[in-house]
């Protein structure tokens, strides 16, 4: 049994209002802030959150963490990552820096397909090691709950190994079986025929959700519907990569199929914003990807103002968003997406947890899991304010110190 843990004398503690989830519209900005606060963790859960002056005397076996000068926020929730891959895309990065476009490189067999070849070359032990390494990076940036997608295997063995590696590293696995058409298939329909017959039955045993890249050069709306409908029949929650480069029917399809989210949305215009706001589908925004590719930012302010449920995520992957930092994403939300720090905090905690159906992750209150981040700052808003800063001081996972700098 691990002893209780008391984080004491915190300069500040901030938590989004936990219910109802997801937070929408103005409710996205509801954040409770306590000054001179403590958090008491017991048996992996938060037992108490309060002001120091209200702290009752504690038993002798309590482990104490000195929170002076620090502020606490909930463990961050990254609801969109691609952590299972081999190789890198640094040469492609250089070519893009020299003027080549992401779509051109993708069409020329670079991009996603080059990572597919490098990932297939790894055995399962090496793939597990890669995912564990990436999960360690995320943890050190304050991420305590995360989703990880397959999608760089696109064959039976590598997709399943990717999903197992994600689960073994502590992530929630999503089968991105429809990420690209691998070279051994003539077209998207032929590949889907194979993937749904040969991979889905086993993938559905491991994964919690399925995802598709609905975009020109990947899968069209008809193919995405076929893939997602089969995945829903197999019991998987549904996600879509949509409207990244052009609107191609992702939002109506997501609403029709009851998907949990559409992610990206850089190209979404007014009708799509209205449709999302009127639905239960969460808009997952990935500003680090837009930044990395030099693309327009998604219409975050309009989505929130229209009443949509909005979450933020890194999109961590080697090609379009090589960052594991949700604090950086929160900074981009405030500087590029015109969200407030309060809205950004909600979007990287309770709303992201809602996308993953992750219980009470993302809040600091009695009874929720004892996952918290101590920021090296007297005000919790440094989470977004300290652009690319070394803001994460300590990460507590399940009531134990998991990372300290
Ligand atoms: O979310 N858009 C599709 N998939 C990833 C990028 C994958 C890659 O470039 O390797 C994304 O941006
Ligand atoms: Fe993605």
Q: Which atom of ligand 1 is nearest to the CA of 315?
A: 1
Residue 286 preceded by cis peptide, ω within 30: no
Q: Is 335 exposed, middle or buried (0-12, 13-18, 19+ CB in 10 A)?
A: middle
Banded model confidence at residue 160, pLDDT cuts 50, 70, 90: very high
Pocket lining: 112 vs ligand 1, CB cutoff 6 Å:
yes
Residue 108 has pLDDT above 80, yes or no: no
Q: Is the pLDDT of residue 106 over 80?
A: no
For a pocket test of ligand 1, which of 85, 320, 329 has the largest count of ligand atoms closer than 8 A to its C-beta? Answer: 320
Please give the helix or strand (H or E) that residue 269 lies within, else none. none
Helices H / strands E in the chain, number of each: 16, 16
Banded pLDDT at 2 (limits 50, 70, 90): confident
Q: Label residue 62 by pLDDT band (50, 70, 90).
A: very high
Q: At residue 60, does pLDDT exceed 90?
A: no
Residue 106 Cα to ligand 2 midpoint, Å, equals: 15
Minimum CA distance residue for ligand 1 atom 12: 320
Beta bridge partners of 49: 39
In tens, the pLDDT along 332-371 reads 999 999 999 999 999 999 999 999 999 999 999 999 999 9
**Tens digit of each residue's pLDDT (9 = 90 or more) over 283-294:** 999 999 999 999
Q: Which residue has the tokens 């597919």?
A: 116
Closest atom of ligand 1 to CA, residue 215? 2
**pLDDT tier at 104 (50, 70, 90 boundaries)?**
confident
CA geometry: angle 295, 172, 351, nearest 5 deg: 60
**Hey, CA dihedral for 204, 206, 208, 212, is it positive or negative?**
negative
Residue 367 structure tokens: 């009874």
For the CA of 318, the closest atom of ligand 1 is 10
pTM of the model: 0.97
Residues 6+ apart with CB under 8 A from 222: none
Any atom of ligand 1 within 6 Å of the Cβ of 172: no
CA-closest candidate to residue 327, choices 171, 141, 145, 147: 141
| Residues composing the chain | 405
Residue 115 Cβ contacting ligand 1 at under 6 Å? yes
CA torsion, ordered 16, 22, 28, 34, to nearest 10 deg: -10
**pLDDT digits over 231-280, tens only?**
999 999 999 999 999 999 999 999 999 999 999 999 999 999 999 999 99
**If you measure from the C-alpha of residue 241 to the centroid of ligand 2, how many angstroms do you get, rounded to a whole number?**
6
Ligand 1 pocket test, candidate residues 79, 80, 82, most atoms within 8 A of CB: 82
139 band by pLDDT with thresholds 50, 70 and 90: very high
What pLDDT, in 10s, does the model give residues 165-218? 999 999 999 999 999 999 999 999 999 999 999 999 999 999 999 999 999 999
pLDDT at 109 over 90: no
In this structure, which ligand is nearest to the CA of 119? 1
Q: Cis omega (within 30 of 0) on the bond before 20? A: yes
- Shortest-distance ligand to the CA of residue 216: 1
């Amino acid at each position: 049994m691990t002893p209780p843990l008391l984080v004491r004398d915190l300069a500040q503690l901030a938590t989004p209002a936990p219910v109802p989830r997801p937070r929408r519209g103005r409710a996205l900005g509801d954040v409770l802030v306590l000054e001179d606060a403590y958090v008491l963790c017991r048996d992996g859960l938060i037992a108490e959150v309060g002001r120091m002056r209200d702290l009752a005397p504690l038993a002798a076996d309590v482990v104490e963490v000195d929170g002076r000068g620090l502020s606490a926020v909930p463990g961050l929730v990254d609801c969109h990552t691609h952590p299972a891959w081999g190789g890198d895309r640094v040469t492609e990065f250089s070519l893009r820096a020299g003027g080549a476009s992401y779509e051109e490189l993708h069409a020329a067999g670079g991009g996603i397909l080059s990572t597919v070849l490098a990932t297939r070359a790894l055995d399962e032990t090496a793939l597990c090691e890669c995912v564990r390494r990436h999960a360690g990076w995320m943890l050190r940036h304050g991420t305590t709950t995360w989703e990880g997608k397959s999608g760089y295997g696109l064959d039976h063995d590598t997709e399943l190994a990717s999903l197992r590696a994600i689960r073994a590293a502590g992530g929630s696995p999503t089968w991105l079986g429809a990420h690209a058409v691998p070279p051994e298939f003539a077209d998207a329909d032929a590949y889907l025929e194979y993937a749904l017959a040969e991979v889905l039955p086993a993938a559905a045993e491991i994964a919690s959700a399925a995802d598709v890249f609905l975009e020109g050069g990947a899968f069209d709306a008809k193919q995405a519907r076929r893939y997602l409908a089969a995945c829903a029949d197999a019991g998987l929650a549904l996600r879509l990569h949509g409207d990244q480069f052009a609107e191609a029917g992702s939002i109506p399809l997501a609403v029709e199929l009851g998907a949990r989210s559409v992610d990206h949305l850089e190209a979404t215009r007014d009708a799509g914003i209205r449709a999302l706001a009127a639905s239960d589908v969460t808009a997952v925004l990935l500003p680090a990807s837009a930044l990395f590719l030099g693309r327009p930012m998604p219409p975050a302010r309009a989505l929130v103002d229209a009443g949509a449920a909005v979450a933020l995520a890194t999109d961590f992957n080697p090609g379009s968003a090589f960052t594991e930092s949700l604090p950086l994403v929160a900074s981009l939300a405030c500087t590029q997406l015109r969200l407030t720090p309060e809205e950004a905090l909600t979007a990287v905690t309770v709303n992201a947890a809602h996308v993953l159906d992750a219980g009470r992750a993302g809040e600091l209150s009695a009874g929720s899991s004892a996952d918290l981040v101590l920021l090296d700052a007297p005000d919790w808003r440094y989470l977004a304010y300290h652009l690319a800063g070394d803001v994460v001081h300590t990460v507590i996972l399940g009531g134990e110190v998991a990372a300290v700098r």
